[in-house]
Amino acid sequence: MPAKKAGRQQVKRAIRTRGDRTETRSAMAKALRSVESGDVVEAENAVKEA
């Protein structure tokens, strides 16, 4: 029985954290693109946001 409950909890946790993970990855990608482009001001802001 405990394994079933743990499985249900994991599903709920995965759904709850999916948005955070997506947002973090997007911010990191934006920061990397800004750094590679050489735009210093935009890169600083993007890195702070990430």
4 domain-assigned: no
The per-residue pLDDT for 34 is: 87
Q: Considering its fold, how many domains does the chain have in total?
A: 1
11 domain-assigned: no
The per-residue pLDDT for 46 is: 83
Range of the domain at 37: 22-50
CA distance 36 to 30: 10
42 domain-assigned: yes
Element (H, E) at 16: helix 2-37
Look at the pTM and tell me if it is higher than 0.85: no
45 domain-assigned: yes
The per-residue pLDDT for 38 is: 83
15 domain-assigned: no
Q: Mean pLDDT by 10-residue block, N- to C-terminus, for the chain (50 residues)?
A: 93 94 91 86 81
39 domain-assigned: yes
Contact between 28 and 46 (Cβ < 8 Å)? no
The per-residue pLDDT for 11 is: 96
